[in-house]
Amino acid sequence: MKKVVVLGTGGTIAGRAQSVTDEIGYTAGVVPVADLLAGLSLPAGLVAEHEQVAQTDSKDMTLAIWQRLGQRVAHHLARPEVAGMVITHGTDTLEETAWFLHQVLAPTKPVVLTCAMRPATALMPDGPQNLNDALRVAADGRIGGVVVVCAGRLHAAQDVTKVHTWRLDAFGSGDAGPLGVIEAGELRLFRQSVPGRADPGLWARVQGVRALPRVELVFSHADAQGHLVRSLLAAPGGDIPPLRGLVVAGTGNGTVHTALAEALEEAQAQGVVVWRGTRCALGRPVTSGRSGGDWPLAEPSVIKARLSLALALL
């Protein structure tokens, strides 16, 4: 028997609407993970345990939920009888949670995040198929680390990005492409995921804080100015933490408007760490130097790099 533990965190996969035809006006994060599993018939040789870790719309993801999720993932992965884990999650910040777990836990056993674009109450929900596929990937034995299953495709944590607002196949893996596909319940693997390399003390540090170091994301664009960066630098009031880092989503090859670059240099002179990426959906900046400032590259995406920089500053 292979044991897989399923952790529920909410999302559209656990969403409920008033009518079966309503795919928009639903509430995410309502249906318990136990009910999501109850509708599935597991293949012979697979048993699933479940636990509700959170019940949220993932746009509202917090550090507190990540800390609890990380604790439960670490706890279950340490059990020798557990072959792998599945996490049901909203699509909106799924790539950030995947990146968080990849960065802080770097598991070798499979941790498979899955989701849905239609609520559980829809006429034809996509969640049951995705959950079924995710369970099979978690028990497959050929893949390890943090991965994502959606619409029959398997993505690596470092590559996965939400690329579409409503399509069922809402995720892409950019230039790298998916790790594999799930065909009629069978995983066809194109390549292996690259395992994470967690800093051994990082997870302990993450568990010990109430907030990550403050890192903000700014965009370069036509007619950009430095005002936003300068107001971020102004001494914050109340209990707002001081700015520690900035990730700039540059144009094209990671280039930054001169007016914005000047403000970023002022920020750097005041001790703020600046990283530079691209606002392009595909590709990575390949330039360095004055065309985009001498700032380290923000990879694998500016969204994930914002989290990486906060973790690095910890």
Site residues (vs ligand SIN, CB under 6 A) = 10-12, 28, 57-59, 90-92, 115, 117
DSSP string, 168-222: SS-EE-GGG--SEEEETTEEEESSPPPPP---TTHHHHHHT-SSPPEEEEEE--T
Q: Alpha helices, DSSP H only, in the chain?
A: 33-38, 63-77, 94-104, 127-140, 202-207, 227-233, 258-269, 302-313
Task: Select 113 or 137, whichever has its Cβ closest to ligand SIN.
Answer: 113
CA distances from 302 to 96, 107, 227, 307 (A): 11, 23, 20, 9
User: What's CA 167's distance to the chain center, in Å?
Assistant: 18
Q: How far is the CB of 3 from ligand SIN (least distance, A)?
A: 27
Q: How far is the CB of 77 from ligand SIN (least distance, A)?
A: 24
Q: How far is the CB of 153 from ligand SIN (least distance, A)?
A: 16
Alpha carbon distance 231, 228 (integer Å) = 5
Q: Which residues, in sequence order, are CB contacts of 154 under 8 Å at separation 6+?
A: 137, 143, 147, 148, 178, 179, 180, 181, 182, 187, 189
CA distances from 122 to 17, 25, 131, 249 (A): 8, 11, 15, 37
Q: How far is the CB of 116 from ligand SIN (least distance, A)?
A: 7
The answer to whether 12 is a known catalytic residue is yes
Q: Which residue is catalytic, options 9, 12, 114, 278? A: 12
Residue nearest to ligand SIN (CB): 90
Q: How far is the CB of 282 from ligand SIN (least distance, A)?
A: 22
Task: Select 55 or 287, whichever has its Cβ closest to ligand SIN.
Answer: 55
| Residue whose C-alpha is closest to residue 38's, from 63, 73, 75, 6 | 6
Task: Select 92 or 140, whichever has its Cβ closest to ligand SIN.
Answer: 92
Task: Select 10 or 292, whichever has its Cβ closest to ligand SIN.
Answer: 10
Q: How far is the CB of 101 from ligand SIN (least distance, A)?
A: 16
Taking the CA atoms of residue 5, residue 11, residue 17 and residue 21 in that order, the dihedral angle to the nearest 10 degrees is -90
Task: Select 10 or 285, whichever has its Cβ closest to ligand SIN.
Answer: 10
Alpha carbon distance 161, 173 (integer Å) = 6
Task: Select 90 or 178, whichever has its Cβ closest to ligand SIN.
Answer: 90
The residues annotated as belonging to the active site are 12
